[in-house]
Amino acid sequence: MDVELSPKAREIVACAQSLLAVRGYNGFSYADISETVRISKPSIHHHFASKAELVRTVVVRYREGARAGMAALERQIADPLAQLHAYVGYWAACIRDGSAPFCVCAMLAAEMPSIPAEVAEEVRGHFDDLAAWLQAVLARGVADEVFHLRGPAQAEALAFMASVHGAMLAARAHGDAELFGTIMKPVLHRLTHR
């Protein structure tokens, strides 16, 4: 992020991120943030002149966190299959404990036709980042003879990403956090079997 945020601005961003994961872009207002953070709406506007600016800031920081998480997986885990298990495990834990019940960018992608262009651009950037990382992990797994892909690594990466987000959606729709892992288990298994 270009500008370091004040403690209050970080609190506003964290609140907005939580609201986005549950309600999406069109499901919250500055009034919701005002009530939660205990700050007046004009004070929120002092930090973020518009909702678009606030949500763009949320997504930029979310992307930074996701890229840092992917880089950490690269540094800490050498095996491509273990990297994917760790990635899926991260989301399973977040869904189970409610800390991040849904990917903010997946929620915003569902609203793409109605969100501001500057937010949509960052959302697309997140999916590009994630797809590129998944493609690299899958290609490495093929080179290491760990994965047996049924198509090009790029297409398989997009399918894997869609499976993760679809599993999040199914878990939410059924009110069953464990459903996420149940859905992802055969997706991971399929990668290693012909």
Q: What is the pLDDT of residues 58-98, one digit of tens each?
A: 999 999 999 999 999 999 999 999 999 999 999 999 999 98
Q: What is the pLDDT of residues 112-140, one digit of tens each?
A: 999 999 999 999 999 999 999 999 999 99
Q: What is the pLDDT of residue 134?
A: 98
Best CA proximity match to 61, nearest among 104, 110, 25? 104
Q: What is the pLDDT of residue 3?
A: 59
On whether the 7-191 domain is CATH 1.10.3720.10, my answer is no
Kindly tell me if the per-residue pLDDT of 104 is higher than 60. Answer: yes
Any idea where the domains of the chain sit in the sequence? 7-191
Q: What is the pLDDT of residue 1?
A: 45
178-191 vs 80-97: helix crossing angle, rounded to 10: 170
Best CA proximity match to 40, nearest among 59, 12, 16, 18? 12
